[in-house]
Structure 1
Amino acid sequence: MLPVVALAVTACSASPTSGTSAPPTGAARLVVRSTPTVVTAASAAKPLAGRVVVIDPGHNLGNSRHAAQIGRLVNAGGSRKPCNTTGTATASGYPEATFAWSVATYLKARLVAQGATVYLTRSSNSASAWGPCVDVRGRFGNTVHADAVVSVHADGTASRFHGFFAIRPARKQGWTDDIYTGSGRLALDVRAGLQAAGLPRANYNGGDGLDTRGDLGTLNWSNVPTVMVELGNMKNATDAAHMRSASWRDSVYAAGLARGLATFLRR
């Protein structure tokens, strides 16, 4: 059998750090080289080869130090909302931004190992960094021609509530009507992946592990299938203990998300 020949694709770096409405300088892009490459049996065995995923680690560790910047109103998809927020934290002070960054890092490693090209919407988890704004985060998947986007978060509600849920975009004419169906499938696959990893569905928001929102700029600005996940409640003692565990962040949260994304991307 003759070897399969394909064009090599290079993923350029991306690290949006501003809250401007225009795509960040140096936004990631795909560059197709003219030199053909032979796809070997080893590379062909990578199930996500050729797929592009964007991971959005919610908030940023330095948001609380930049109140004016994150308080600036931006277009969140037909309504004006603050650029970003500080996020929540556990009772012991473990920040949502740090949790989301850790899960995103583990998730990226798992997806790359399966052959995917993966981008993060922020390049660090630094106390001196803020943003990007929700509109910039929402458009980021469009600039790199992503096949799927997942925004990683944790909730901060009453301590009696626990468990995860996936948020899909509502159908909004001119905004999400083109990705509504695909995002719904992605949410179902991510829910199944997280359940398979051992996470319980949230015992609130209907109890089915799903929610629909029409007011989130991170979802509304996307032109590719997207989902936001609240991986647990940081105010619940059991969820908080799991979130502080590096083992859980890798082997449960990231593993579940990777499983759900792989199911969606291999359809």
Structure 2
Amino acid sequence: MSYAGPDFDPPQPRRRRRRALTVAAAALVPGALLGWLMYEVMGGPGDKDASGNAAVRPSAAPTASTTSDDKPPGPTPTADSTADSTSAPAASGALKGKVVVIDPGHNPNNFQHTAEINRKVDIGTNWKECDTTGTSTNDGYTEAEFTLDLAHRLRTLLQKQGATVKFTQDGDRSWGPCVDERAEIGNEAHADAAVSLHADGAGAGQRGFHVILPGKVNAGAADTGPIVGPSRDLGERIAGSFVRVTGSAPSNYVGDGTGLVTREDLGGLNLSTVPKVFIECGNMRDSKDAALLTSGTWRQKAARGISEGIVSFLRG
């Protein structure tokens, strides 16, 4: 996510490396240790406090196809594509009859509509900006580009499992949608699972992924009580699969090494009535994470890790 706005934390101070690695090693399940060791070869220090953490849950690996080229398997967004990008499910598969909403964070055109995205919307606990522009790597690869590419890859994998997949946006809108509308799209679809895709914009040296879970909120239009439990289940399964498939480690700056963070200030989670999580796939401002995020091969692994977590959750 970007540096300021409704759906992310600003850069945070680092702690010493040794404590983060110790906590992470204790929290990760044995099936994820290989990924952790691979990450350690690449390096990554630090840690910071976060609330509501839990151990990463492993997930079974369902059958899923992958590609390793730098092109997304889905079509490039065009002006003629529909806003929710509803896709017909496969004829059969483990997820036949299931609906998954994918929420690619931000919008490539947001920067041209600052007045629109800066207007405040009600997220239950308070009022926050409609959306933000998102962040980017130091070389200019934007978060919005990353999330759309990852969304297309993820959609292809989920369709092969038989799921019906809907997008909140496909680069086909002039801006937005706002965070409250993003939640409403999942609600109206009666999604069995919803996942918002992001990449963080923290400081250099702050590395790794984290999954954001909804906290218990009951204020205004927000009532997350019914979804807190299933959303945590979804998030733990995605985190476990992400470690195993990508080889990336949980964040060294939020989550105390668990890869899980609970928040009560995100409209996309507060206003959801269906199980939903956010995933920050890495830090675009760190050169080592950026090298992964800009790799089509790695993005395919990321899509498979997220997909397998969703499949595990929906199959129970």
Q: What is the TM-score when the length of structure 2 is the normalising length?
A: 0.70
RMSD: 2.0
Q: Counterparts of 2:164 and 2:288 in 1: how far apart (Å)? A: 34
Aligned: 1:180 with 2:228? yes
How big is the shift at 1:256?
0.4
Instruction: Select 2:178's aligned residue among 133, 141, 146.
Output: 133
Instruction: Select 2:83's aligned residue among 10, 15, 32.
Output: 15
Aligned residue-pair number: 230
Q: Counterparts of 2:148 and 2:91 in 1: how far apart (Å)? A: 28
Aligned: 1:99 with 2:99? no
Check the 8 A contact 2:148/2:170 in 1, yes or no.
no
Q: Given residue 257 of structure 1, which amino acid in structure 2 is its aligned partner?
A: I
What does residue range 8-47 of structure 1 map to in structure 2 within 5 Å? 15=83, 43-44=91-92, 46-47=93-94
Identity, % of aligned positions? 44
How big is the shift at 1:43?
4.5
Task: Report the secondary structure of 2:223's partner residue.
Answer: coil
What does residue range 146-185 of structure 1 map to in structure 2 within 5 Å? 146-173=191-218, 175-185=223-233
Q: Structure 2: 5+ residue runs without aligned partners?
A: 1-80
Q: Counterparts of 1:171 and 1:67 in 2: how far apart (Å)? A: 31
Task: Report the secondary structure of 1:192's partner residue.
Answer: helix
How big is the shift at 1:14?
5.4
How big is the shift at 1:129?
2.2
Deviations 1:132-161 (A, max 9, x none): 000000111111111000000000001111
Task: Identify if the C-alpha distance between structure 1 residues 79 and 14 changes in structure 2 by more than 3 Å, giving closer, same or farther.
Answer: farther
Q: Given residue 188 of structure 1, which amino acid in structure 2 is its aligned partner?
A: E
How big is the shift at 1:199?
1.9
How big is the shift at 1:238?
1.0
Q: What is the TM-score when the length of structure 1 is the normalising length?
A: 0.82
Match of 1:6 in 2: none
Match of 1:5 in 2: none
Task: Report the secondary structure of 2:117's partner residue.
Answer: helix
Q: Given residue 195 of structure 1, which amino acid in structure 2 is its aligned partner?
A: V
Match of 2:283 in 1: 233
Task: Report the secondary structure of 2:195's partner residue.
Answer: strand
How big is the shift at 1:49?
0.8
* Structure with bigger RCO (C-alpha 8 Å, 6+ apart): 2
Match of 2:274 in 1: 224
- With 79-88 and 190-199 compared, the bigger mean Cα shift is at 190-199
Q: Given residue 134 of structure 1, which amino acid in structure 2 is its aligned partner?
A: V
Match of 1:84 in 2: 131
Deviations 1:180-224 (A, max 9, x none): 101111110110110111221111112210101101001111101
Deviations 1:76-106 (A, max 9, x none): 2221000000110000010000001100000
Q: Structure 1: 5+ residue runs without aligned partners?
A: 1-12, 17-26, 31-41
Q: Given residue 310 of structure 2, which amino acid in structure 1 is its aligned partner?
A: L
Q: Given residue 130 of structure 1, which amino acid in structure 2 is its aligned partner?
A: W
Q: Given residue 120 of structure 1, which amino acid in structure 2 is its aligned partner?
A: F
Q: Counterparts of 2:178 and 2:124 in 1: how far apart (Å)? A: 13
Aligned: 1:191 with 2:236? no
Check the 8 A contact 1:194/1:256 in 2, yes or no.
yes
